[in-house]
Each structure stands twice: as structure tokens, then as C-alpha cells.
Structure 1
Amino acid sequence: MLVNYQQTGDATNPAVIIIHGLFGSLENLNVVARALASNFNVINVDLRNHGRSFHDVDMSYPVMANDIKILLDELKLDKVHLVGHSMGGKVAMQFAQLFAEQVDKLVVLDIAPVAYHSRHDAIIAALNEVQQRQVSSRSEADGIMSTYIDTPGVRQFLLKSLAKNEAGQLAWRFNLDVITEKYDTITDNINESHSCLCDTLFIKGNNSDYILPEHKDSIARLFPNARAKIIQGAGHWLHAEKPDAVNRSIIDFIQ
């Protein structure tokens, strides 16, 4: 099946694939897509089990990378730039591992090719509580989630995926059951097979702990042509917190 996507910019320009993170959708990276659209053919995607894409029981990185491959084949794109945030950064890295010949430049936003310990237990508990309650408004859902999640910005991000389904009920657009079941797969590392020689840029928020000094060896082993950029005053959601600095870093690198 084909993932949902949104294409902007001139189709004759070099193509950039933009891939969002866990619990997100293509809307989350529209700030990046808009900045790139004047010079690139931008394809912003909803990963499987997210946004308006199909739901499926598999959430492995090779399978999600293959979804991107199927989309490129459909769009007849032989070579692309890839930009991925968080889980989407791992999908982009996995694609580069499997289909290196189709990658021009790779941009990874605040994630490393390593396994992570659980970081979303409270979020998953909050989301499941909302799902079980069958809420009638986003404000009701926000009230439920506030007992699990202190940060209003995190709750607002998640609530963007709460929408009416075909039955007219509010429901999560992402496939919460599968995400909950496959969470260990999502937090695990990508499948390593070889070093990818594509030019790669890792962009880190200086307040984030997703890319740490101890990850340097893993990055260098899998992406020996990688360089790093640190965005000051930003955390894990660096593209939302410092969009101008992130967009300029991406554009300077891929141009």
C-alpha cells in the first residue's frame, strides 16, 4: 500500500522526502516543507500507522523504509534527499542503509542510530486512557492527559492527532494499539548492515539528550561522511522551537 503524502514545490526540482516522528504526522514538519518548497520538490509523508496513512501490525524500520521505497517508485524518483525527525530520522537512516544508491544527502534531526530506553510510558498511558474514555472534546482529552503529562506543549502536539473518525467519534489518527505493542521495536536501533557513504548531517538541539557524546562512534561507523550541527536554545522539537536556524542548516547542507 502507498503511504499518504503531500507534494509541494516544483516537481522538476531535486526531491526532498520529509519524515515525521512518533505520534506525529506530515503536518508536524510543514514548517520545514514550506521553507524547502521554493527550491525543491518536497514530498512530506505520513508514516504507516500515523496521520492519514494505512494501519498495519508491523512497525519495523526495514518495513517503514520500504514504504518510502514504494512511494519513490510510484513517483518515479531515482535519487532524493532525506530529512527525518526522531523516529522518522531512524526511518531515513534505515532507508539509506537499504537503498543507498537512491540517497543524495541525508539529514537526521535529533536522533542517533542506537537503541533507546523507554521515554514515553506516561504518554502511552495518557493516550490509552483517552482512547478508553471515548471523549467528546479535545478539552476533555487534555484534562485526562494532564494527570499524566505536565507539559502543555506535549499535550497540544498529541491532540493534533485526535480527530473524528468515520463513525463521528473522536479517536487517535495514529494506531495506538500497534504503537503500544511494538514500542520496543520503535525504540530499538535500525537494522545495521553496512556503512552508508552518503553525505549526512545530524542536527541536534543543544538541550536534548537524544544525541550524546557516547553515540559518536555508532554514527561514525554507520555514516562515516557525517557532520554535526547543534542548534542553540532548542530541545528535541528543534524544528518547532528554532525553525529558522533548522531550516537554514538543512538548506545550506543540501544545496
Structure 2
Amino acid sequence: MARLGQGGMGTVFLGRSPGERMVAVKVIHAEFASDPTFRKRFTREIEAARRVGGFHTAAVVDADAEGEHPWLVTEYIPGPSLHDVLKQHGAMPPRTLNSLALGIAEALEGIHSCGIIHRDLKPSNIIVSTAGPRVIDFGIARALDSTSLTRTNFVVGTQGFLAPEQLAGQAPTPASDLYAYGMVLCHAAGAVPFPDGETLESALELLPSTLVDVITRCLKHDPAQRPNCTQVLERLTRIRQKSDDWLPPPVRTMVDFHNAPTAR
């Protein structure tokens, strides 16, 4: 029905199933499709992604790793990306940040429980929906590792969200996702990118006091000192802030706009 966007692995289209469900169809680029090792790893990742459930991820609907052009179909989640929300409206208020923190941590907990590492958690991979934040593209980036596609200047992940160990060339772990999680919340709070001369410590002062401890621990240089998702959730649920609507009115309008074409 439409083209939603294009990334490093392929192009994503908006589609409609025979049952009138809206879906996102990701078609892999030909340069990757021609590599048999990539296809094998892509198959394994599809199988793993099918196991990921929960309220905060996009479910896999169908896939084909063996066709001329490998493809993956997930449910379509109507809503803007967190990247687009921040670009248009700037830093989010505390109640929104707390809901983002809980929803994204719950999504990562489900992803990690299936033995999957996201590897590219960032605002553009988080959809802001009426039901809360939804994490997309989980685990698929792993299919690019250990294949002939790995080449000079090709990095799995996004600068600014990569953990120190990833920048050092080490294999990512679930703790690497927690570092990216902390950076996502810093972006959502307007704490990064840092103004000239500002340090991380001073930037963290822009965060709600309820999140400073969790995010500081997530951004530890040593991955062994970072909390896991369960520990993050245990900490955040103790300080949950009740709110009738987790989104500010301008962002709610933005989300409603994305829902309108789906209703038609």
C-alpha cells in the first residue's frame, strides 16, 4: 500500500493481509540475499523472533528466508517513532519518561528471555502507540554478524547508542542493550546530545529524579556493573507515577494522526 522507509538491511512497506490487518513488510536487499550464510542466520533470527511476545513488541506474522528476495512481515503498529516525536516536540515530561522507561524495559526483558540481543535500540526503533512504547526490529541485526557481509566501516548498531564494549570490537551482550536503553532515555529527556563542555554527570541532572539512579547504572562503562531488565523493572515499579494519559496533548495528536489511515 505504501513505502514506510528504508534501512541498512532492506525496504519496509505497508501492507494489508487478506483479513484486512495492517502489516509491515520488510524486503531484504539483494546484496544480502545473495549470501547463503546470511540466509541461514536470517532463518534462525526469524525463528527466534517468533518466540518474542509481550505487550511492547511487534509480533512476527509471516516470513520467507528462502525466496528470491527474503522478507519478513510483522504487525503494523500505527504511531510515530520516538525519533520523530523528539524531533518535532523536544524533551518529554516526567510522566512520559517514566512510561517510556517501563515499557521499553519490559520489551527488552521479553526479547532477552528468548536469547535475543536487540543490538540497535534507538529512538527510531521505538514506536509511540496509544498502548505505550513498542520496540521493533529486535534481534534481526544479529543476522549480519559473522558473515561475509561484515566489512570495513560496517557497524551493527548506531553511533551514540553503542556500548563501550561494542566500540572496542567486543561481542554485544544483553548489557549492551541496557547501555542503549539508558541513552534512549537520555535523548527522550533532552539530556543528550551534550552541549559543548557539558559532562554526562551534569546532563543527567536534566532527568527526573526517579530515573537518575537507573540510567546512571545502565551507562556504566563496565557491562558487569549494569543492571539487567528485571532489576530495572523492579526499581521502576516501586516509583511508578500514576497518570491518566502518559502522552502530552501534542504527542497524542501526533499518534492519533497515524491511526487515522489505519481506520480507513
TM-score clears 0.5: no
Higher strand residue share: 1
- TM-score, with structure 2 as normaliser: 0.26
